[in-house]
Structure 1
């Protein structure tokens, strides 16, 4: 299994990192998804690269072997929310790194309206204000599964939770007063 202290590198950088067009697209993606550095982007690209490689290898197998092994790959990607229920191996080849970045906790917190900006979402997560199924998650790069997506809430005891609840109750009272 290996020593827990010596972790492996989860990303592989580009072969030629100083291409101007690549630098420009990387900076746009970093700004759009609020990434801390390019390693987070390269991690997503590495995940997609390995999944696409697995799909290409499966497409080279004969049909009986492909169906049983391909089903497990499709199920795993469906649980992660990267593909739809009725997807095929060909759909895996169309995945991009942005598909993985959309499944990060930081992005989902923003989309659920729990934070005003992508950077605020990152701050809430790293400061321990966000929980999944009642358990605090402090990693903004956590890939949220389909089943966990509805279980994202503010952490118990978080002052952010109290602040949001008081704002929503004030808004409800304001709406009742107008009626």
Structure 2
């Protein structure tokens, strides 16, 4: 059977993690495309760098021209570039071109969801299908031939409201309010015990005085 395939990292992290300009752009893309984290963006950015490197190698004569033709054919299948594109056209492709081909984005662009976040939820919960087969990966890159076959896997009502759980602050307030009568009852019990103890002491003193008067009379 052979050795199991070694799992390799699919992306490279930025060399300068705290670059303000890059962080602002990445967070803007994350919000606009409803990404879960920046790792999803880094995967596509790494793929884009690999494509550009291969194109530059072909243009410099370090790689066979057939590699460039295969790359154009592959990107055209995903509708990233046109079928008659040149290698120079690939060099101007940006990461947004790949983000637009994610299933989550295509579902939103087709009007099947009201927002990017809802589109991600529909895909993750298995509501979206391609060619009748359920796809649950929001980052699935959609082929141009698959775009028209995207549909709901089962009927769904997007107008149905989502139940909202009570806020934690309200629950805490209810707990505090419920605890007030218990504290009041404890104070009342302690007051009753104090009154009963004082009454017992008065009775004991009265009996002692009566006994002393009888003794003096004798």
TM range (shorter): 0.7 to 0.9
Residue matched to 1:177:
none
Pick the structure with greater CA Rg.
2
Structure 1 unaligned spans of 5+? 165-179
Residue matched to 1:23:
23
Residue matched to 2:104:
106
Residue matched to 1:150:
148
**Equivalences for residues 65-84 of structure 1 within 5 A:** 65-66=64-65, 68-84=66-82
CA drift at 1:81: 1.2
1:126 matched to 2:124 = yes
Supply the distance in 2 between the matched residues of 1:95 and 1:132 (Cα, whole angstroms).
26
CA drift at 1:159: 3.8
Supply the distance in 1 between the matched residues of 2:17 and 2:105 (Cα, whole angstroms).
26
RMSD of aligned residue pairs (Cα, Å): 1.8
Residue matched to 1:3:
4
Please, which of 81, 101, 115 is the counterpart of residue 117 of structure 1? 115
Runs of 4+ in 1 over 6 A off after TM superposition: none
Structure 2 unaligned spans of 5+? 159-218
Q: Is the 8 A contact 2:54 2:68 kept in 1?
A: no
CA drift at 1:136: 0.5
Residue matched to 1:12:
12
Is the partner of 1:153 in helix, strand or coil? strand
Structure 1 residues 140 and 2, CA gap change in structure 2 (3 angstroms): farther
CA drift at 1:71: 1.4
Q: How many residues of Structure 1 are paired with residues of Structure 2 in the alignment?
A: 157
CA drift at 1:69: 2.7
